[in-house]
Amino acid sequence: MAEAFSHAITNTPGKSLVAVEVNYKRGEKLPPYRHTKSAFIMAYVVSGAMRSQTERTNLLAAFVVNIKHGTLTAFDRQV
């Protein structure tokens, strides 16, 4: 996961727009995770398919978050 950009939203005080590029390998699955509570999230699949077992998948995730948001994505602890 690589941050593509982060900019304050000028007409919405205290909020910023953060875009993240996410690349999944063929058949890759992530463990359970959570996003920061202040986030509104939209994802766009650039190539591949989210449920594909046969091809790579690339997506762009856009977060509208509080400017001081902390970690965007945290993986749940395995019990």
Cα separation, 38 vs 67, in Å, equals 10
Q: Residue 7 in 3-state DSSP?
A: strand
Q: Residue 50 in 3-state DSSP?
A: coil
pTM: 0.75
Residue 29 has pLDDT above 50, yes or no: yes
Q: What is the pLDDT of residues 31-71, one digit of tens each?
A: 788 888 888 999 999 998 877 778 889 999 999 988 887 77
* Cβ-contact 60, 44 below 8 angstroms: yes
Task: Give Cβ neighbours of residue 66 (< 8 Å, ≥ 6 apart).
Answer: 14, 15, 16, 36, 38
Residue 79 has pLDDT above 50, yes or no: no
